[in-house]
Structures are given as structure tokens and as C-alpha cells.
Amino acid sequence: MKKFFRSLLAKYMLIIVLALSIVQIAYLLIAILITGVADNIESSYTSDEMDYEQIEEDWHKDANRLKTEADISRIFDKWKDQYPDASMFWVDQSGTLRVATEERNDLPTEWTSSFTAKFIKDRYGENPFTVIAFVGEEDTDGFIVFEIKRDVFQKPIQIAFNQYGSWLLIGTLFLVIFFIFISFLFFRGIRKRLLQLQEAMEIRDVDELPIQIDVKKQDEIGQLEQTFNQMVHELRKSREREQEEEQLRRELIANLSHDLRTPLTKINAQTYKIAKQDVSDDAKQAIHALEASVEDIDKLIENLMSYTLLMASKYKLDIQEVDIVRFARERIATWYPVFEKEGFEINVELEPLHDSVWHVDPIWLGRVIDNLLQNVLRHANNGRYVELKTASTNSYDAIVVRDRGSGMKDSSNQKGAGIGLSIVDMMVKGMQLEWEIHSSNDGTTIQIKKNIQDKK
């Protein structure tokens, strides 16, 4: 139950209950006010005198008893005493206005039949309340008219309501606006807290993880904030475990590399000694195969170490201005003896580019080209062809390495191919370059590209 009273639902229900209660109390106070005002209003007429039908009946009775002009004046005086706000007049049988309790500019001295009909039509059911009665029993002496405003017959409560009804409307409107304002503040507070939570999710600490936020309330949003803080805590713990595992993995790889290279060095030394001996041709072939295997293992270990250092961002990047055409020519020159020994056809077409000066790390770029050429030597040697050339388009300059092997699909299962290309990928992207691989059964083409718009 305590949890419910802390919730946003309970708070909003409280706002609604308070609003309804205030409205009820306000209406009660207004009713008391109007009733009190009505009690203080003095009416000139009793409840019996406020009966329209009774007034009309009494007026006709008095009209039937009239015989002379003096009788008419006397009746007018009597009714004037009873109804001070009333207006009365007599029009005789010839249509002349004879007796009137007050001067009326809207009444003609001589009444025509058409005006009389219009007058009766205009007064029927309208304000003022009008009663027209014929004079005398034979209805031959004209007619007398009684007029009084309907407002004077209103009850005190109705008069009070007419006076203060506008205040009631204003008060009701104020309460509605007040409720809307309170609801606006309530939901604005919710929105503000949600936006703060969203901003906290977007802010990153030095370790690239979200930061925790202060939990000030124990409602639904507060529970969401607690859950968010718990998630951040678990992410941080996970990151720490990942870093510890990464550190252990790097140490393991470094120790394994060291432990493997020690026996490889001894094997290489013993192989060299055996090769100096006078042995048979079969033994020489075996020694040659052993040396090649040792060299392959050494390259794999070197790639593994490089990959580990790159993953840990420990491989130093030193950007320099490099003449890429000259650099590529010098690099392929070191590989000429190796490819010639294996019977490869070598094609080099290093033409000037739009901008031959690239901003790269020469060690990294050399490692990239070496890895690609080594990949051709080891995994595309069935094609016996390697090509290194430059290429230029309107959007980029590129160094291209191409072979005529069986394609990356077949070579991907060869030992060391995956990690070598992973190193190429990380180094190329680290130097803000791009690369593409197009491979088929007729060979593989790899481009290392520098966008022209990126030239410095």
C-alpha cells in the first residue's frame, strides 16, 4: 500500500479528487451566498400577486364592472397602489386614448383597427406582461390595458442568480483552468524527469559507458531510474571482466609466442646444421620442407602478436608523408627473388596518381602490402601470377594487388589467411584508408584506396 501511495497514479488520482472536492465546495459556497442575498432582497409583491393567470382574471372582472370614466380612474388607482410598476390606459369605443396612468410616447391618441391588431400581436406572450379587457358587460365602451414588466415578478433567488450568475460562471471557469494548470504542472514534471533520464542515457563517461543518475523519488520513474542505474552498474562490471579477460588473453598470447619461438629457433639452428652435412637428395627435400614449415609458423606467430597488439590499441601509429608509388616499387622489389624462385609471373605497373603523396604510417602500410603479397604466395600459388599496379578514378587513387589463383573462397580455409586479412583490415582503417576485395574462380583483386576528397 505504501508503494501505491508513492506512485504517479496515486498522485494524479489525488489531483482529481481535490479538483472535484474544490468544485463541490465552491458550488456549495456560491449556493449559500446566493441564498443569503435572496433572503435580503425585498419583493414588492406577494407570491399570490405573482400569478399571471390570477392577474389576468382579476383584471377582466374589474373591467366588466366598469360603467363610467370615474369608475375607470378609480380602478386604475386601486391597481396602481397594488402594482406600482404597472402602466394602465383606456381606449374608448371611438379609438381615442382617454385615461392613462402615465404619459406614453409610444401610444397614439387615436387608435386604428390595424394599430390595435398590431399592438395585441406585439404584446402577446412578450415583455411587458399585458392584459387587455373590454370595458363593461356589453363590451361597447372600448378596452382597458394593464402592462407590467415581467422582471418585477421574479423570485428573490432568481434575482440573486441573475446578479451573481456571471460570477458563478467565472468561478467555474477558474476552477477548470486551475485543474488544467495543476495537471499541466504534474505532467510537465513527469516529462522533465523523462528527458533527464534520456539525456543521462546519451551521456558517456570516460570509459564510454552511461553514467548513473540520482534517484530522488520512489515512483514509477524513480523505479525506472533505479533499473537504469542497475544496468549501468552491470555494464561496468561486464566491462571490467572483459578488460581482465582481454589482459589475460594478451598475456597468454605473448607467453605462448615467446614459448613457441624458443623451440623454433632451436629447430631452425639444428636444421641449418643438418643442411650443411652431406646428405641424400631426399633428406635435402625434407630439410627444405622443414625450413618452410618453421618459417610459416614464425609468420603465424608474428601475425598473432600483431593482431593482439592492434586489438589492444598498443600498436603505435606514426603518420608520415609517403610517396606511395615509390614506396610500392621499393616494396615489390624485396619480393622479386621470392616470387621468381616460386616461378611466378610478376607484373608491375606503378604509374603516377592524382596525388602520389599519402599520409600513412610507412611501417603499417609496408605490413599491409607484405601481408597481401604473402597471401598471394601462400594461397594463390596455383595461378603463378602476381600483379602490383596503381589505379586512379575521379573519386579515388588506389594500389592494386591481383592474382590468378582459385579465389578467396578456396583460400579462406588455408592456415593463417583469416588473421592476415584481419590485420590488413584494422591497419587500413587505422590509416583512414579503404579497401575492397573482388574474388572469383579466376583470381582475386584487392584495392587499397584513398579518396581524392580526403587529400590534405
pLDDT in tens, 112-137: 888 988 988 888 888 889 999 998 87
Q: Is the pLDDT of residue 155 over 70?
A: no
**What amino acid is encoded at 405 in this protein?**
G
Q: Tell me, what DSSP letter sits at residue 43?
A: P
C-alpha cell belonging to residue 266: 632451436
Cβ within 8 Å of residue 442, ≥6 positions away: 404, 407
Query: pTM for this one?
Result: 0.43
Q: How confident is the model at residue 244 (pLDDT cuts 50, 70, 90)?
A: confident
Q: What cell numbers appear for 56 in the block?
A: 389576468
Could you tell me which residues are beta bridge partners of residue 347? 387
pLDDT at 50: 61
For the chain, what are the domain ranges? 2-42+156-197, 52-153, 242-309, 316-454
- 3-class DSSP assignment, residue 96: strand
Residue 288 confidence (pLDDT): 76
Quick: pLDDT tens for 315-361: 678 899 999 999 999 989 999 988 898 899 999 999 998 888 999 98
Binned at pLDDT 50, 70 and 90, residue 158 comes out as low
Mean pLDDT score of the chain? 80
Amino acid at 40: N
DSSP state of 431: T
Q: Which three cell numbers stand for residue 449?
A: 584506396
Question: Could you tell me whether strands 357-360 and 97-100 are parallel, antiparallel, or unpaired per DSSP bridges?
Answer: unpaired
Amino acid identity for residue 105 in this structure: N
DSSP 104: -
Least confident interval from 47-56, 72-81, 180-189, 201-210: 47-56
End-to-end CA distance of the chain: 68
The pLDDT value given to residue 261: 66
Cα 276 to Cα 287, 288, 294, 295: the distances in Å are 11, 12, 18, 19
pLDDT, residue 321, reads 93
Q: Which of these CATH numbers, 3.30.750.24, 3.30.565.10, 3.40.250.10, 3.40.190.10, describes 316-454?
A: 3.30.565.10
* CA–CA distance, 167 with 170 (Å, rounded to integer): 5
Q: Name the CATH architecture for the domain at 242-309.
A: Orthogonal Bundle (1.10)
Q: Is the pLDDT of residue 311 over 70?
A: no
